[in-house]
Amino acid sequence: MYYKIDLSNYEPREVSAYQVVTNYNDISSEQIQVISKELSEFKDSFGKDWQEWNLKDLRSRLKDNWTFYLVKGGWAFIDWNRKYPMLCQKYVFPNHRGTGLNLDLIWIRCNEIKQQGYNYAMMFIDDWNTPAKSVLKENIFTKMD
């Protein structure tokens, strides 16, 4: 389900430390190894290998006006190529789940979008993804048709 995010009255939130990446070469070799390891070990809810993206896609996306947000224990993207910036592919490492990092990765990107002068954004949350849907209690999310 797609959700519109109304940031017109949004106040930036305090979040975990993070790195904003717009150029693949700004990611250290150690960070690349951590990302590669996590991508190779990750299985979806059905036990299938991760299919959403890989390091080649990361390089391509960064060249195509996406931003990558890297935190200890996870990452997320913004795709700036749409009418409303799109919060994409948030991932929290299994050993960091339940720590609030899921929400931090949303607020990191909402803070950035607001700082860039946008009042609206959008995101997609699968109906089965209960942890991701916890953010919907905030009054800034509206289902899109």
Q: What residues does each domain of the chain span?
A: 2-143
Residue bearing tokens 């250290």: 28
pLDDT 10s digits, 75-112:
999 999 999 999 998 888 888 988 999 999 999 999 99
Beta-bridge mates of residue 69: 20, 76
Q: What pLDDT is stored for residue 43 in this prediction?
A: 59
Q: What local confidence, expressed as pLDDT, does residue 133 receive?
A: 86
pTM (whole model) above 0.85? yes
* Confidence (pLDDT) at 122: 97
Residues (pLDDT < 50) of the chain are none
Strands 2-6 and 141-143: antiparallel
Sign of CA dihedral 92, 93, 97, 100: negative
Rounded distance between C-alpha atoms, residue 38 and residue 115, angstroms: 30
> What kind of architecture, by CATH, is found in domain 2-143?
3-Layer(aba) Sandwich (3.40)
Amino acid type, 16:
S
| Cα angle: 103, vertex 105, 110; to 5 degrees | 95
**What pLDDT score does 20 carry?**
97
